[in-house]
Amino acid sequence: MSPAESIMITIITASTPLVIASAGELVTERSGVLNLGVEGMMVMGAVSAFAVSQITGSPVLGMFAGIIVGSLTSLLFGFLTLTLVANQVATGLALTILGLGLSGMIGEPFVGVQGIRLPALAIPGLSSIPFIGPILFNQDVIFYISIVLVIATQWFLFRSRAGLVLRSVGDNHASAHALGLNVIGIRYLAVMYGGACAGLAGAYLSLVYTPQWVENMTAGRGWIALALVVFASWRPLRLLAGGYLFGAVSIGQLHAQAFGVAVPAQILSALPYVATVFVLIAISRNRRMTLINTPASLGKPFVPDR
């Protein structure tokens, strides 16, 4: 494998969890719910996937466990913010803290245990194409799911009636309720979908990216996923470009260290997060685009008439 192929593959592995987690959060925010607990749901998905794969010997079952646990974790957020009408920002932050602490406790017996890697799925014929084949057609199933998720989310939001309903709830929940739509029910489904995607992203980290369990192994990726949703202006297809841009920055700092770039390692490690800050600053300057694409009811509580 050539160095160029190796670099491209590492960029894909770094970008895939960001794309998946941000795709789920985008749908959640399109419904008008701001869930800042992506990091907590990701790390719970990671530890669940690793634990189940170790117990059963099947990384596929581990992947499904990550999805289920991520979705169940999101239900706690949904109950507090949608049913009890708690503050969404505070609840999301609390969910992240809870997830990081609880995952550390659950994963303690698995620290230092060799993980079971999710196998690659080589597509016959296509995987043998020089350069492109090993990069795009010899990947694990979660990579292919990430591409399908983004395309399906684009179609769902802008080409289906259900997507129109979801966006109407996010843009004006009072009007949607007046039309007879079940605002709370729709938002519960969107929150659970976001949790499932975050759990799958976490499962990717412990089954593919680094097949092992390390406490706090998400390392801030949930926050980058949140920034990616804003970067993409709540448009699914833009997530793909943004996710791979941030993935390239993350991998770039590792290769810079390998090539002996005379910059302190701490500065290089901070590059993905510095890039996140600069991107958000650049986006905030274009206020017109932000206002046009931001769901109008984002983060606002809704209490149906009784």
3-class SS at 300? coil
The pLDDT value recorded for residue 206 is: 95
pTM of the full structure: 0.92
Domain residue ranges in the chain:
3-113+140-293
Q: Is the pLDDT of residue 218 over 90?
A: yes
Whether 278 has a pLDDT exceeding 80, the answer reads no
User: How is domain 3-113+140-293 classified at the architecture level of CATH?
Assistant: Orthogonal Bundle (1.10)
Give the whole-angstrom CA distance, residue 246 versus residue 177: 38
What pLDDT digit, counting tens, does each position of 293-305 carry?
Answer: 789 999 999 988 7
Virtual torsion, Cα 228, 234, 239, 241, nearest 10 deg: -100
Q: Which residue has the higher pLDDT, 249 or 211?
A: 211
Tell me: pLDDT of 286 over 90: no
> Residue 146 is which amino acid?
S
Arithmetic mean of pLDDT, 268-284 = 69
Pick the range with the lowest mean pLDDT from 101-105, 143-147, 158-162, 251-255: 251-255
Kindly report which listed range (177-191, 228-242, 248-262) carries the lowest average pLDDT score: 248-262
Q: What is the pLDDT of residues 178-215, one digit of tens each?
A: 999 999 999 999 999 999 999 999 999 999 999 999 99
Average pLDDT, the chain: 89
What is the pLDDT confidence band of residue 266, given thresholds at 50, 70 and 90? low
CA-based R_g, the chain, Å: 19
**Which residues 6+ apart lie within 8 Å of 35 measured at CB?**
25, 28, 29, 74, 77, 88, 92, 95, 191, 194, 195
Beta strands in the chain (DSSP E): 120-122, 138-140
Q: What is the pLDDT of residue 232?
A: 86
CA distances from 173 to 91, 163, 188, 291, 292 (A): 20, 14, 14, 17, 17
Range of weakest confidence among 74-78, 87-91, 96-100, 236-240: 236-240
